[in-house]
Amino acid sequence: MSAHKRTGKIAGLALSNLFKKPDTVAYPANKVGLSPDIRGLLSFDKEQCIGCHACMRDCPTGAITIEKIGEKQFRALFDKGKCVYCGQCVDSCNKGALGYTPEFELAGLQRDDMRIELDKSTAGS
């Protein structure tokens, strides 16, 4: 194929795209609908946790830590910066103590901002 024919194809493609609606959205001014299956920030139900540490063992990045705080009481410490949101910890929890929230805007300015304690309503932390 000659260079002239390729230039013609590119010009035609460029002109046809000139009049198409963009595929992108002016985020965050315009929000888009999210799938209900989104893997957002984790939630933790301390009433359900038995401290088996299956979530900790199965987390490929070590983003979650379960600590004992009392007799049959546990807390979950989570590092948003380490997590790859693969969902392995949620899948590994046989008691349903871990779940997902729709919270997905998880950036922080400091490393310490990324380390949080999870609870049932962690969204918005």
Q: Where are the domains of the chain?
A: 35-118
Beta strands (DSSP E) in 18-122 are: 42-44, 64-70, 73-79, 98-100, 115-118
Q: Mean pLDDT in the chain?
A: 87
Write phi, then psi, for 122 (nearest 5 degrees). -65, -25
pLDDT less than 50: residues of the chain: 123-125
pLDDT score recorded for residue 11: 83
Global confidence as pTM: 0.72
Query: What's the CATH fold of domain 35-118?
Result: Alpha-Beta Plaits (3.30.70)
